[in-house]
Structure 1
């Protein structure tokens, strides 16, 4: 939709629309790397909350961009912000389902991708019937829900038991220690 928005609403070329979309994608790669760093330094929920809180105004910038430079900048910020929580969401899901890490990964990645794929035709239909701005307004309205949930979601930390001392391991298995 960003590419079409650049072309239809901001009178840009196909190449400019592709550049705006590529900017979003490249920024997403940066956001993934940055999200891991933020999660390691400040906690996973920080990367989730910051990502979603920054994404909301960036999406607004895309929706109401008065010109192409604002659209590209907003797409870049949105790309970083949307992918900032990516790694943290997977590991949080695994902590929320500690005995089912595969299920947790599948839910956090697979369900998100599937939901996006299933909703895409509806957003395309909305764009065809009501125009691209209607799609961005709908996305903004829908996006408020994960922002509120991210703010309220508690940090989940799993306490890992301390490793046994080497002397205890040797005493428990004397035939293997030699």
Structure 2
């Protein structure tokens, strides 16, 4: 089967972009239930922070390991219905988590959800770029904002459903998985029709390298992007997995109240994601990446030392600023290696999940040996690494020249 180029469609196909964004919302909403129920699981099973970190590590690593391989395979042999198949893994994982009797079964459950994510993200990024009509930053942002909105809804739904009704109520999210499977089958039908009309000429055009960029410069740029993803997602791992514990310990916030505060951070992250892509299309992705990560540093440095109201305000600002980078990073990377959208998207989504998992395990281990407040003081330094974005090449300038 011929490989589909992300530029085959003549114009932006907004119904498909909205459908894949909604699917991303449902997928990441189900995934975000996992860290949202950590306080419940910790209390019910007596887990240590290190065990909480291991649960996240298993989830994030299974989310990341397969993604580059799935993406590379999909670049060569696209499978329109693989998205729906991957969601079936998530369905099994959710049902297993709802009835898990202990640590081992919980690890199996989150591993299954992670495998579903590994299949979902690379191919859905290909669908988004295929439907972009050339507005790749906008398309990636629309796709990504669905995921961030879903990640924000997870803690909110956990506070409304899982915390009051217990672990078994996680099974309610199986209905969400079934809805996502339905949507992904419909998207697969559209994707299959695009593959039928794919031409060798379009694929060859997509594979044309950028002028003025040697392989060495491309490798250097990819290394810089990897470092930026590290700084961003190590920090976000601390916020996503331990912000609730930080609020509960420092300010004596209730479990439900802490979940609402986490929702505010994640909702702001969703809004920030939508901004980054279109701005990158217009003014250059390098500057969006640079301003997003380094620009969050003043606010992260203040967060551990202020009162509760200011902590929430700063968390919202950090979410808005730091989350505008990822869409620009993914599109920047796929511009560096045209024709390999699935593989590159898989690599960077894999890095996002893998580094997030390692960060969660590391901060959990460190919290057991120090304190929750200490890890928040340490993590605030990570966005300062955003300074290296200044060394990225100016792709937009090279194309215009």
Band of TM-score, shorter chain = 0.7 to 0.9
- Equivalent of 1:154, from 374, 384, 393? 393
* Partner residue in 2 for 1:7: 248
- Equivalent of 1:44, from 254, 271, 285? 285
Q: Which moved more, 1:53-62 or 1:15-24?
A: 53-62
Distance in 2 between residues matched to 1:128 and 1:107, nearest whole Å: 31
Matched length: 158
Distance in 2 between residues matched to 1:141 and 1:58, nearest whole Å: 11
CA contact (8 A) 1:48 1:84 kept: yes
CA contact (8 A) 2:301 2:380 kept: yes
Distance in 2 between residues matched to 1:144 and 1:99, nearest whole Å: 32
CA contact (8 A) 1:20 1:71 kept: no
Whether 2:274 is the aligned partner of 1:33: answer yes
Shift of 1:144: 2.4
* Partner residue in 2 for 1:165: none
Where has structure 1 moved over 3 Å in runs of 4 or more?
Answer: 157-160
* SS of corresponding position for 2:395: coil
The TM-score with structure 2 as length reference comes to 0.37
CA contact (8 A) 1:2 1:62 kept: no
* Matching of residues 19-168 of structure 1 within 5 Å: 19-64=260-305, 66-145=306-385, 147-157=386-396, 159=399
Distance in 2 between residues matched to 1:83 and 1:104, nearest whole Å: 19
Q: Which moved more, 1:98-107 or 1:25-34?
A: 98-107
CA contact (8 A) 2:265 2:319 kept: yes
* Partner residue in 2 for 1:164: none
Structure 1: state its 5+ residue gaps.
161-178
Distance in 2 between residues matched to 1:138 and 1:44, nearest whole Å: 28
Question: Relative to 1, partners in 2 of residues 1:63 and 1:154: Cα closer, same or farther, differing over 3 Å?
Answer: farther
CA contact (8 A) 2:274 2:324 kept: yes
Shift of 1:45: 1.6
CA contact (8 A) 1:61 1:70 kept: no
Two-structure CA RMSD over aligned residues (Å):
1.9
Name which one, 1 or 2, has greater alpha-carbon Rg: 1
Structure 2: state its 5+ residue gaps.
1-241
Shift of 1:117: 0.9
Q: Which moved more, 1:29-38 or 1:8-17?
A: 8-17
* SS of corresponding position for 2:253: coil
